[in-house]
Amino acid sequence: MKKQILVITSSFDFTAEFIIQKFNNMIDFFRFDVDKLSEYIVVLGDCKTWKITNKKSNKKVTNEDITAIYFRKPPDLSAYEVAYHGMIQRDILSVINGISDSFDGKVLSRPYLLRRAENKVNQLIFTLKNNWEIPCSFIGNDPEEKIFYDKKGIIKPLTTGIVRRDNGCDVYYTSCFYDTDVDISLTPIYLQEYVPKKYEVRITVINKKFYTVRIDTKDKIDWRKDYENHKYSLIECPKEIQNKCLKMLKYYNLFFGIFDYIVTPQEEWIFLELNPNGQWLWLEKKLNLDISNKIIKYLIKDE
């Protein structure tokens, strides 16, 4: 009998599509595209089970049917009237978070754990307490703070860096920061001292298995701006860095996470951030990795 996995995602999630197509001969997937909620029926009542039905296929799934949940993406609400985005998003997230957080089986990863781990303030405090090598950092709204005004610095989003508009959205990446008279008292900003880098490293960890990829790129501020000119190579992750990554994952009670590091010209490894639900598919395809295999193995393995 096939294992059954509930995939909570959105209709534009190509990683979920890749996983389902690759393993559908051995696993019975139920894909729940939460941005198309009207195409499903979700019922939670007095009984001990919840049920989700796909209207088109009439396929049903309950918490008693599935062996694991792969929690991929929150919903995109562009199809809804702008005035109701906030309320609709909160209601939908309340349902999918409740289903995922309360499930007795495996979940990769539970939303309440993701919310805690992706918080950059939480991450910064963790690294400071544990004496990690990080860029000199500042989070706050004090316009008198001069820590970066006399040196090269960068500014990065505290959350997703995405601003939705009626005709699309703006994406804000890590950028150079210069002294400015703009009033920042209304919102905290995240500043870091610029650290010269020899190359960047993206470390994907799934159940203690490490995939460490060196990224050489022309953009020395934020490599995500210029995917076309990247060079990727699989490298060995130093044992000290592995131990740090595992310590942070254990702290957040996670079995999956993606770590971003920079390596300086002096070969120092400097931690940038943890993405507890980050993207990995393009690296699997570029370097012929087996990250997807390890994810599925973790989800279906009985422990």
CATH number of 88's domain: 3.40.50
Q: Which three-class secondary structure state does DSSP give residue 125?
A: helix
Residues 121 and 217 both lie in one domain? yes
Token pair of 95, please?
């349902």
- pLDDT, one tens digit per residue, over 138-155 is 777 776 665 555 566 667
What pLDDT, on the 0 to 100 scale, is given for residue 155? 74
* Banded pLDDT at 91 (limits 50, 70, 90): confident
189 and 141 both lie in a single domain: yes
Q: Last residue of a domain, which of 153, 169, 193?
A: 193
Question: pLDDT tens digit string along 179-224?
Answer: 555 666 667 777 878 888 999 999 999 999 999 999 998 765 555 5
Confidence of residue 49 (pLDDT cuts 50, 70, 90): confident
Rounded Cα–Cα distance for residues 122 and 118 (Å): 8
Q: Which residue has the higher pLDDT, 124 or 184?
A: 124
Residues 10 and 54 in one domain: yes
- Give the residues across from 62 on adjacent strands: 51
Q: Same structural domain for residues 291 and 206? A: yes
Q: What are phi and psi of 147, to 5 degrees?
A: -60, -30
Q: What is the DSSP letter of 12?
A: T
* Same-domain status, 178 and 217: no
Same domain membership, residue 93 and residue 46: yes
- Evaluated on CA atoms 24, 30, 34, 40, the torsion sign reads positive
The whole-number pLDDT of residue 168 equals 47
Of 145, 169, 193, which residue is a domain's last? 193
b/e per residue, 261-281, with b = 16+ CB within 10 A? bbbeeeeebbbbbbbbbeebb
Q: Domain of 185?
A: 137-193
Q: Is the pLDDT of residue 102 over 70?
A: yes
Q: Check whether residue 22 and residue 58 sit in a common domain.
A: yes
Q: State whether 122 and 216 are in the same domain.
A: yes
> Are 95 and 151 within one domain?
no
Q: Residue 69: enclosing H or E segment and its boundaries?
A: strand 68-71
Residues 266 and 178 in one domain: no
- Identity of the amino acid at 279: Q
Predicted TM-score (pTM) of this structure: 0.85
pLDDT surpassing 90 at residue 45? no
Whether residues 85 and 227 share a domain: the answer is no
Q: For the purposes of burial, counting CB atoms within 10 Å of the CB of 232, is it exposed (0-12), middle (13-18) or buried (19 or more)?
A: middle
Residues 124 and 270 in one domain: yes
Question: Token match 């005035």: residue?
Answer: 83
**Number of domains within the chain:** 3
Taking residues 25-36, what's their average pLDDT?
93
What's the pLDDT at 169?
45
| Residue 46 DSSP one-character state | S
CATH code, 234: 3.30.470.20
Q: How far, in Å, are 2, 218, 249 from residue 228 at the CA level?
A: 39, 10, 31
**C-alpha distances in angstroms, 22 versus 10, 19, 268, 278, 290?**
18, 5, 38, 20, 12
Nearest to 158 by CA among 136, 177, 182, 174: 174
